[in-house]
Structure 1
Amino acid sequence: MSAALHLAKPADLDRLTALVAAFHAEVGIEQSDEARRAGLAPLLEGIPHGAAYLLGPARAPMGYIIVTFGWSVEFGGMDGFIDELYLRPAIRKRGIASEALISLPKALAQAGVKALHLEVNRTNGSAQKLYARAGFRAREDYMLMSRRL
């Protein structure tokens, strides 16, 4: 199996929505399909704030990665944030996520992105190991804080 990344396009909305719904169900995110589609559609239509990538064959994706973009003075330019990463449960533990997490930063760096961030549940040791293998490091003195608006 290959973790080939394919930039999702508007024609992929149904496939991506189904994968996102599966991920949200798995982690307990409650959201209507209408709200989910409204959050995904602009990414597929090319807004500059983010991108969605399908993992594996474009017509039968095994998962997805969504990256959003921002600006960081500290990192010297555009940065990215992995908003969601999901692989179908049946194909996990085969190195696909690791492969994707190694190839994605290379592609983003070529596009001018200076840093890539993500958040991980403090109790999810297997995800922390996956991210560490892909070169992500915890920032000792920092903690992500959020405010819903």
Structure 2
Amino acid sequence: MSAALTLATPEHLDRLMILVAAFHAEEGIAQSDDMRRAGLAPLLDGIPHGVVYLIGPPRAAIGYIVITFGWSVEFGGLDGFIDELYIRPGVRKRGIASETLLSLPRALAGAGLKALHLEVDQTNETAQRLYARAGFALRPNYHLMTRRF
């Protein structure tokens, strides 16, 4: 099984909606299909705020990753945030997520990305080990804080 990445386009929306709904159900994220579609469609249409990559063969994707873009004075330019990463349960523990996390930053650095961030549940030790193997580290003295609107 390969972690080949395909930049998702509008033609992939229906397949992607199924994967995102599965991820949200697994994570307990309550969201309507309309809201999911509103969050995904502009990314697939090519807005500059982020991208979605399908993982595996595009016609039978085994997962996806969403990266959103921002700007950081601290990091010296364009930075990204892994918003969602999902691999179907039946193909987990085969190195696909690791391969994705190791190859994607190299490609994004070529496009000018200076840093890539993510958040992880403090109790999810499996994900923390995965991210550490891919070169992500906790930033001392920092916590992600959020205000919803």
**Residue 140 of structure 1: CA displacement?**
1.3
Q: Which runs of 4+ in 1 moved over 6 A?
A: none
Aligned counterpart, 1:53: 53
Alignment of 1:60-79 (within 5 A): 60-79=60-79
User: In the alignment, what sits opposite 2:104?
Assistant: 104
How many residue pairs were aligned?
149
| Paired-residue identity, % | 73
Residues 101-144 of structure 1 deviation map (CA, whole Å, 9 limit, x = unaligned): 00010010000000000000000000000000000000011000
Aligned residue number for residue 89 of structure 2 = 89
Taking structure 1 as the reference length, the TM-score comes to 0.99
Note the residue ranges of structure 2 that are not aligned, 5 or more in a row: none
Q: Distance in 2 between matches of 1:75 and 1:113?
A: 9
Match runs of 1:124-135 below 5 Å = 124-135=124-135
Letter in 2 for 1:28: G
Deviations 1:72-120 (A, max 9, x none): 0000000000000000000000000000000010010000000000000
Aligned-pair RMSD on alpha carbons? 0.4
Distance 1:48 1:131 in 2: 25
CA distance in 1, matches of 2:45, 2:103: 23
TM norm structure 2? 0.99
**Partner SS, residue 68 of structure 1:** strand
